[in-house]
Amino acid sequence: MAYRELQDRIRRLLKEKNALLLAHNYQRAEIQEIADLTGDSYELSVKASKTQADTIVFCGVRFMAESAKILSPGKTVLLPNPRAGCPMADMITAQQVEQLRAQYPDASVVSYVNTNADVKALSDVCCTSSNAVSIVRAVPARKVIFIPDKNLGSYVRKFVDKEMIIWDGYCPTHHHVYPAEVQRLKEQYPDAPFVCHPECRPEVVALADKVTSTSGIIKFTQEDPHRRFIIGTEEGILYQLRKNSPGKEFHLASYGFICPNMKRTRLEDVLLALEKNQEEIKLPPAIIEKARLPLERMIEMGAAALSG
Ligand code: SF4
């Protein structure tokens, strides 16, 4: 089936089922094109929870669909390709969090939203890449266990006066970008600001003119007067950058800056997900209840940090 036809069939089914199609900024362009909402993972889950849709089709990876379920337990949440996982989220287990808690009983656990539901359920508060600094600052404890991303943790550590125990996880896609590649591009395009995601390794982040989340990258490149940029995050974002800033030029910081898991979902999977109601995310009610608390605390603390 031609991809336009697939897109039309998906849109028709979404309407029939009162379903909402969410696409993360790293998804394939043909999926972002027909999504009801595009954005960062947590931003998407919050927006979806405020709609009247019965079903959420989350084109992203598993932990994102889980977050949508945690925030919308009464809705059906579908992950069109069940193999779309996140290696970074899988780098820490609930058991390991329990061990950390026993080892550092006076520390608070701050978990990046890129974690599985059972890990969130054992956390004190969650954070996103855009509010991580303010959340770690706002946590009352002097000692913080930060999971699972060591690169985001190292970035946060520069701005907070706390003891941080940082887990050794990382996003393979962002971690495998090296300073030499960025330096080469900077020499080639000396006028182009380098805008980078904090999941990149510290040596790469050190070269950035701006460090921010994916939505932050889209906003920054829209508002900044430069006409060309070096982009330090996953390839899928190019679709949004070109759409939001037509006429500007974007160069990926690394050749092959692609998350294979984010690219697993194809239009065919989305169509099948809608036709067969698959794969439906099911979480034990106790996990939903416990995992919701650190997400709610993040909102409260983020708001307190902004007003404080
Ligand atoms: S880009 Fe990195 S953090 Fe995001 S889903 Fe892929 S592996 Fe996970």
- Report whether pLDDT(44) > 50: yes
How many angstroms is it from 12 CA to the middle of ligand 1? 30
What does the pLDDT look like over 126-150, one tens digit per residue? Answer: 999 999 999 999 999 999 999 999 9
Name residues contacting ligand 1 (CB within 6 A): 26, 61, 86-88, 114, 171-174, 234, 259, 261-262
CATH code: domain 173-252 is: 3.40.50.10800
What does the pLDDT look like over 64-74, one tens digit per residue? Answer: 999 999 999 99
Quote the pTM value.
0.95
What does the pLDDT look like over 235-284, one tens digit per residue? Answer: 999 999 999 999 999 999 998 899 999 999 999 999 999 999 999 999 99
Residues shown for the chain? 308
- CATH 3.40.50.10800 intervals, the chain: 3-84+262-277, 89-170+287-307, 173-252
Report whether 79 contacts 65 (CB < 8 A).
yes
CATH superfamily of 89-170+287-307: NadA-like (3.40.50.10800)
- Report whether pLDDT(305) > 70: no
Per-residue tokens: 7? 């897109």
The pLDDT confidence band at residue 308, using thresholds 50, 70 and 90, is very low
- Report whether pLDDT(198) > 80: yes
CATH code: domain 3-84+262-277 is: 3.40.50.10800
Q: Which residues contact 113 (CB under 8 A, 6 or more apart)?
A: 41, 42, 63, 67, 120, 126, 127, 128, 295
Q: Tell me the CA distances in angstroms from 150 to 185, 200, 201, one per residue in order.
A: 25, 10, 9
* φ, ψ (nearest 5 deg) of residue 120: -60, -40
**Which ligand 1 atom sits nearest the alpha carbon of residue 26?**
1
